[in-house]
Amino acid sequence: MKNVTVIGAGTMGNGIAHTFAQSGFNVSLVDISQPALDKGLSTIAKNLDRMIAREKITEADKKSTLDNITTFTELEEGVKNAELVVEAATENVDLKIKIFGQMDALAPQDCILATNTSSISITQIAAQTTRPEKVIGMHFMNPVPIMKLVEIIRGYSTSDEVTNTIMELSKTLGKTPTEVNDYPGFVANRILMPMINEAIETLYNGVAGVQEIDTVMKLGMAHPMGPLQLADFIGLDVCLSILEVMYDGFKNPKYAPCPLLVNMVMAGKRGVKSGEGFYDYSESRKAEHVSKSFA
C-alpha cells in the first residue's frame, strides 16, 4: 500500500497527512476549500520545522515529506488512485455519512475506507456503503505526528483481513494500534469525556475555579494537562459533539453535557481554535483566566 487519501485539512487531517507522508506514503489531501488546504500545508511545514529544531529530522526529510503530499479540492480526483482513504472531517454523523456515500461511489472497489471519528458508530457509517467489510475506524490522537496511540475500531461487518491490514499499517507509521469494539465513544472518549464533563460541572457548581481544578488534576493525579485546558485544546465544540453522541447512544444521563459547556459553545467560545475557552488565548498562547461570567 502506497497511495493514501486524507479527507479534511483541519487539525486532525493535516496531522494524519503529515504522518503518512513522513512515513513515505503518497498522500492526497482533499478539502473543499483551497485556503484550508493551504493552511493545512503551512501547519505541516511549521511542525516539520519544529522537528528539525529538535534534531528529530533533517531538511531533506522535510522536503521529502512535503513532496509526498498533493492537494485536491475535488473528491473524485483525490480518491481515484487510493488504496486507503482516511476521512477526518468534522465530528458530525450526517456529514460523515454523506462523505462515505461519495467515497464509496468514487474510490476503487478494493480501497479500504477509514474514518477518524472519535465517537460515531463505524457500523452506522459502513451501512451507507456497498463495502461495509472494508470500513474501519482509525482514531488518531492529537497531535497526530507525536501521539503514539491509534484506536482501531471494527464495525459489525469489518473483515479480519481489513482489521489486520490496518493494525499492521499503523505500526509502519510508528504508532501503537489498539483494537476496540464499536460502541459510542469507543474507549478513549468513553473514559475521557465524562471526566472533562465532570470538571466542567465542578466549575459550573462553583466548587473551584478553572486553574484550581486543573492544578488538582495535574499535581494530584499526575495528568500532564488539566481537564479544562485539555477541553480547550480538543475544542469545546468537539467535546460537546462527542458527549451528545454518547448521550444519544447510551440514553444514560451521566453522559449529558453540562449546561455551561453548551452555553460556551453557543457563545462561540470553542477553546484554542477560537482564541477563548476556559482560558484566554487571544493575545498569546499562554493561558490566561477567562472572565468568571461564564460560571
Domain boundaries, the chain: 3-181, 187-290
151 tagged catalytic: yes
74 tagged catalytic: no
Average pLDDT over residues 13-24: 98
Is 142 annotated among the ligand-binding residues? yes
pLDDT higher than 90, residue 290:
no
Architecture of domain 3-181: 3-Layer(aba) Sandwich (3.40)
All three cell numbers of 75: 473528491
pLDDT higher than 90, residue 284:
no
Phi, psi of 127 (to 5 degrees): -65, -15
Give the active site residue among 3, 14, 68, 151: 151
Is 23 annotated among the ligand-binding residues? no
Give the active site residue among 26, 116, 121, 189: 189
Three-state SS for the chain is CCEEEEECCCHHHHHHHHHHHHCCCEEEEECCCHHHHHHHHHHHHHHHHHHHHCCCCCHHHHHHHHHCEEEECCHHHHHCCCCEEEECCCCCHHHHHHHHHHHHHHCCCCCEEEECCCCCCHHHHHCCCCCHHHEEEEEECCCCCCCCEEEEEECCCCCHHHHHHHHHHHHHCCCEEEEECCCCCCCHHHHHHHHHHHHHHHHHCCCCCHHHHHHHHHHHHCCCCCHHHHHHHHCHHHHHHHHHHHHHHHCCHHHCCCHHHHHHHHCCCCEHHHCECCEECCCCCCCEECCHHHC
Average pLDDT over residues 67-93: 96
pLDDT higher than 70, residue 289:
no
Is 91 annotated among the ligand-binding residues? yes
289 tagged catalytic: no
pLDDT in tens, 141-192: 999 999 999 999 999 999 999 999 999 999 999 999 999 999 999 999 999 9
pLDDT, position 282: 85
Give the active site residue among 3, 47, 116, 118: 118
pLDDT, position 283: 64
Q: Which residue has the cell 444514560?
A: 252
Is 292 annotated among the ligand-binding residues? no
Is 185 annotated among the ligand-binding residues? no
Determine contact, residues 135/97, Cβ cutoff 8 Å.
Answer: no
Same fold, 3-181 and 187-290: no
pLDDT in tens, 53-62: 999 999 999 9
CA 34 to chain centroid, in Å, comes to 20
Phi, psi of 114 (to 5 degrees): -115, 155
Is 64 annotated among the ligand-binding residues? no
Is 206 annotated among the ligand-binding residues? no
Fold of 187-290: N-(1-d-carboxylethyl)-l-norvaline Dehydrogenase; domain 2 (1.10.1040)
All three cell numbers of 44: 505541516
Task: Look over the chain and give the mean of its residue pLDDT values, rounded to a whole number.
Answer: 94
Give the active site residue among 18, 87, 139, 241: 139
pLDDT, position 294: 37
Phi, psi of 69 (to 5 degrees): -110, 130
Is 12 annotated among the ligand-binding residues? yes
Is 168 annotated among the ligand-binding residues? no
Global pTM?
Answer: 0.89
Work out the angle between the directed axes of helices 259-266 and 188-204 (0-180°, nearest 10): 90
Average pLDDT over residues 12-17: 97
pLDDT, position 285: 53
198 tagged catalytic: no
| Spatial distance between the Cα atoms of 258 and 241, rounded to a whole number of angstroms | 12
pLDDT in tens, 83-140: 999 999 988 999 999 999 999 999 999 999 999 999 999 999 999 999 999 999 999 9
